[in-house]
Chain A
């Protein structure tokens, strides 16, 4: 155990970008036992630093022998924004766990769960229906199913009996994690009593009720939200106090105020996350809860306008560091942009979302079947693929390497050019697959058609701008060998 292994003292925390594989390696067993599946400890350390493997993948580290090293490594690798779990099992959600302020510095972890509210004044039928809608909402996006993630049960009645009954009803109707919302600890306990062991998020501890809420959080072993609207000294005081009280799973709600409070809201979320990630401020190092639902408390009467405002607020809070959102609208046009933007924002910026280049065949293509071409951006490819499959076409699809860019971007950035198309045809031996020399190019690359005819010697048909039109296009325009 001699060598350079240092027991990190109380030195300033390093950002994930400053941690080198050596930092991790020096605390590992360094036996090259390969139990993690890597060829040696250095390879393991490198993947840990890249965020591809977690320390749990190293079994020896978790033995008594390496207890101290394990502690040091855990502290070294701990994200500046703690991770808090709400709910249990498969549907449990991890919130926070952020390493960086800006996405390109590393990558964002734990895509922001979206919770939708119900309340304790709803009838059983209304609760059933709304829970069914929340659980059932989904959208298929490049082969992924985007869904809602939690239910916030609000106490409108202020009555413990009604709240307990509503929470029991909802908990029985869904496996989604719950957020229990009541500022009166007596009401809150009625909800906690019927969800014991389900790890709901308690909303919320305030300057007035913090002690009672802290006792509930400890008794029911549930995470606790801290609500201190637009009062950061109080927020910090509450966090400090709750930590001292023994409650460590905290979620921060610094207040979401739309309209005239918009600047302050964006500023507050940004300031908190910046201090957590750049200065490792421990009192701010917790997940942030955004509540676009608050737009519904304004005097506005038009539901469409409220939904519109909620959609804009939610999207801004997704970009500005919200680790959890509570919303009211269940309209697809409000939710779709949020769920898609969340998916995109949390993709790994270090890896282009691309698929392998080559020729894919669909159905049972023969030598007269159409040949189409597209780029290797994953979304482009999966969109085209699902449209071709949905219309049961027999065809070939050439996928060109555009560095993971869509057709439009690749044309603009000169990655999808007449020459690129010509070399793809050649490289993949497309001429040997069919008896014709006709290629359908994407409508968004229409301007390449002339040059491409020259560069390839193939006849070029300009296809639809959106792949949903491929089936109709082939039906109307394709006759083999023409």
Chain B
């Protein structure tokens, strides 16, 4: 079939020229003072204005004569309004240390929100969003701009996982066991278990185990992986209503309960389905073992559906709908499905080396504002940006920021 993501002549020069610079600079390590900024309005401290300052202009549209134009500023106060919500998002802990029966160096807890995301600086997220980087267990077709960063490790999932943690700062790793897909390699359950063992050896961060989407095969793989990794609190990605239909949901949920793992409940942009799937899962596992994936669509391909479903879910949960009060995951990598992310376009739309990562970044930022607790990501520049934004959004105290420069007269 026509392979859409053929690299063609790779614009590697541009990538190499831009990416390292971007990476370096997005860390914000270089803070150089601009020399030619003129500060015409000083530090923007305001004073009660003197009325003599105003030049006299005869107004053509005079207010009714009855109105006395003020000559002094009429002082108003501002009292921040804090909204308390009856509901709270459950906290879910991923990964387990030795003390808790696992082998990870640290655990990660997500969720816990008591207000819509970043809606109130005095209610910062209890647990900031977490980033997991993708690893595939086989050679996969990736957009050229993504492949460039991982081509050395493609086909070696353990090495890929190590690179994601050591070089790109992944909080977690997602191993997509794509080769188990009956329509692709149809790799055996034993092979999948071996791959997960290798990743557990290679890195010490908590893991997400991605299936292939086939409700029967995934159930077989998840059940076996759950048993092998007893106590590790893996996040199994994902369980679906399809599994319920295929009568395989029970086996996975039971295994997750028995071996202490967490389930990702995946539904397609439909809150009633999300609630129904959760209700089915409550029969087998604790609600604190459920994370939801409500579906992430690419920017330009329906991101607004994802944005709104997450805003609705979070608001409903905070208003007391406990069936939706679970942390949520977004596969920001889905941004790359948009042709604007990976395709070469006319020069006025810029190089895809920048367009691709900004697409993934905007996808993630947008859903972060809708309440995402855990992102699946790929491009290093997007990861760095999101981490940087998460850190800055947590700056809830009145840190002494430099006053806003006079942007009106700044020479750019």
Contact = CB atoms under 8 A, between A and B. Distances in A.
A452 interface: no
B340 A104 contact: no
B392 A334 contact: no
26 contacts: A156-B411, A185-B55, A189-B57, A207-B48, A209-B53, A233-B77, A240-B74, A245-B69, A255-B404, A263-B394, A294-B404, A296-B407, A296-B412, A297-B404, A297-B410, A300-B25, A302-B25, A305-B25, A316-B366, A316-B369, A344-B302, A408-B301, A408-B337, A412-B266, A447-B214, A476-B2
Nearest to B341: A337
Interface residues of A, number: 133
B51 interface: yes
A212 B295 CA distance: 52
Given A156-B411, A237-B76, A344 B304 contact: yes
Contacts of A444: 337
A349 B306 CA distance: 11
Contacts of B118: 263, 266-267, 270
Contact of A414 (B67, B242, B411): B242
Interface stretch (B90-98, B187-195, B223-231, B344-352): B344-352
B126 to A, nearest CB: 16
Contact of A469 (B2, B21, B183, B301): B2
Contacts of A207: 46-49, 73
A148 B334 CA distance: 27
Given A103-B311, A137-B348, 12 more contacts: A103-B307, A209-B49, A216-B57, A261-B401, A262-B389, A263-B394, A316-B389, A332-B345, A334-B350, A415-B268, A466-B343, A477-B1
Contact of A291 (B78, B119, B407): B407
Interface string B171-201: 0000000000101000000000000000000
Interface stretch (B106-114, B248-256, B354-362): B354-362
B40 A183 contact: yes
Interface stretch (B29-37, B132-140, B152-160, B318-326): B29-37
B62 A274 contact: no
A446 interface: yes
A255 B398 CA distance: 15
B315 interface: yes
Contacts of B304: 103, 344-345, 347, 349
A299 interface: yes
A221 B5 CA distance: 54
Interface string A321-358: 00000001001111011001100110101000100000
A207 B51 CA distance: 11
Classify the interface of chain B: helix, strand, loop or mixed: loop
A361 interface: no
For chain B, the bracket of interface size reads 35 or more
Contacts of B34: 297-299, 301
B379 to A, nearest CB: 12
Contacts of B163: none
A264 B401 contact: yes
A255 B41 CA distance: 15
Contacts of A345: 304, 307
A230 B77 contact: no
A267 B122 CA distance: 9
Contacts of B343: 466, 468
Contacts of A104: 308, 311-312
A219 interface: yes
A414 B245 CA distance: 11
Interface string B287-311: 0000000010101111111011001
Contacts of B75: 233, 237
Interface string A455-482: 0000001111110111011001100000
Interface in A147-204: 154-158, 181-183, 185-186, 189, 203-204
A262 B369 CA distance: 13
Interface string A223-240: 000001111111111111
B4 A154 contact: no
Nearest to A229: B404
Contacts of A121: 411
Contact of A245 (B2, B70, B395, B407): B70
Contacts of B299: 337, 340-341, 344
A302 B63 CA distance: 50
Interface in A115-166: 117, 119, 121, 137, 139, 141, 154-158
Given A218-B60, A446-B183, A308 B26 contact: yes
A121 B38 CA distance: 14
User: Which of B18, B31, B71, B297 counts the most chain A CB atoms within 10 A?
Assistant: B297
Given A333-B349, A406-B301, A294 B365 contact: no
Contact of A465 (B4, B21, B78): B4
A202 B60 CA distance: 17
A78 interface: no
A28 B343 CA distance: 54
Contacts of A443: 1, 4
B303 A344 contact: yes
B267 A274 contact: no
Nearest to B410: A297
B385 interface: yes
B308 A156 contact: no
A341 B366 contact: yes
A232 B46 CA distance: 12
B119 A274 contact: yes
A466 B340 CA distance: 11
Contact of A340 (B340, B365, B411): B340
B346 to A, nearest CB: 8
A328 B1 CA distance: 42
B16 interface: no
Nearest to A450: B183
A233 B311 CA distance: 30
B59 A183 contact: no
Nearest to A117: B412
Contacts of A230: 404
A293 to B, nearest CB: 6
B220 interface: no
B286 to A, nearest CB: 26
B80 A337 contact: no
Contacts of B22: 304-305, 308
Interface string B13-25: 0000010011001
A333 B362 contact: no
Contacts of A185: 54-55
Contacts of B308: 102-104, 349
Interface string A381-411: 0010000000000000000000001101110
B302 A336 contact: no
A121 B36 CA distance: 14
A359 interface: no
A354 to B, nearest CB: 11
Interface in A255-289: 255-257, 259-264, 266-267, 270-271, 274-275, 279, 283
A353 B120 CA distance: 32
A333 B401 CA distance: 29
Contacts of A337: 299, 340, 358-359, 362
